[in-house]
Amino acid sequence: MEVQDGPPHRRLAALSVIDLAEVAPQTIEDWIRALPDAEANELAGAIPAQRPHASCGEDLRWVEVARLGFERRRLPTFLVMLFSSLEALEARRCAEAPVAWERVADWLGELYDRLSDGEDYESLEDISLFAFENYLDRDALFETFCSLVARHPALALKVSANPGRLLGGLSEPHQRTVLEEAARGGGLPVRDSWAALQDD
């Protein structure tokens, strides 16, 4: 009741202590859609990712809530909680984890295309910062990233001009694959981007 009907300071206070696991999914979706940014951001932070003793089904629920939250609101906290929930699925060795990563990777590729078309550069940077800089070692996200680099010249140039930022933690074959896709997508020639990577 406080979240739905209270004044801003009481909404924030309620969201800081609420157990979202006890809130109906439809209510959470309504809050994602209707709350002001400050409260929606607090809502994202209340997602109980990596909670001890949670089930795989619960973690999968929070993956979907966080994905929906970022889709609707573009607040990076939802993106952080999305990947934290995916990590929780992995840590519990849930059978659903590989499929969840595939679904999120496919969704992220489609979303990146839409955000690029809409010139939402802030959200594109959030995806780069909170997804690509940390999770390219997951096969599903790596494949999506390669396809994005191949079809987005701005991303291809960004990656090939400063390859160490995103590719530093990858194996050499994976690094070369990305740089080859970047060259095809409008970035620097592979010999130049590879030399830049070795200098980092």
**Domain boundaries in the chain?**
1-105
Average pLDDT over residues 112-119: 96
How does the average pLDDT of the chain come out, rounded? Answer: 92
Candidates 77, 83, 70, 13; CA nearest to 45 is 77
Average pLDDT over residues 138-160: 96
Number of neighbouring beta carbons within 10 Å of residue 128: 17
Per-residue pLDDT tens over the stretch 48-100: 877 777 899 999 999 999 999 999 999 999 999 999 999 999 999 999 999 99
Determine the pLDDT at residue 200: 67
**Which pair of structure tokens corresponds to residue 168?**
């530093």
pLDDT at 139 over 90: yes
Determine the pLDDT at residue 28: 93
Determine the pLDDT at residue 53: 79
Provide the 3-class DSSP secondary structure of residue 139: helix
The model carries a pTM of 0.89
Per-residue pLDDT tens over the stretch 156-180: 999 999 999 999 899 999 999 999 9
Three-point CA angle 186, 189, 112, nearest 5°: 35
Determine the pLDDT at residue 6: 76
Determine the pLDDT at residue 68: 96
Q: Is 18 left (phi over 0), alpha (psi -120 to 50) or beta?
A: beta
Determine the pLDDT at residue 90: 94
For the ranges 6-20, 64-78, 133-147, 164-178, the lowest mean pLDDT is seen at 6-20
For the ranges 8-17, 32-41, 132-141, 163-172, the lowest mean pLDDT is seen at 8-17
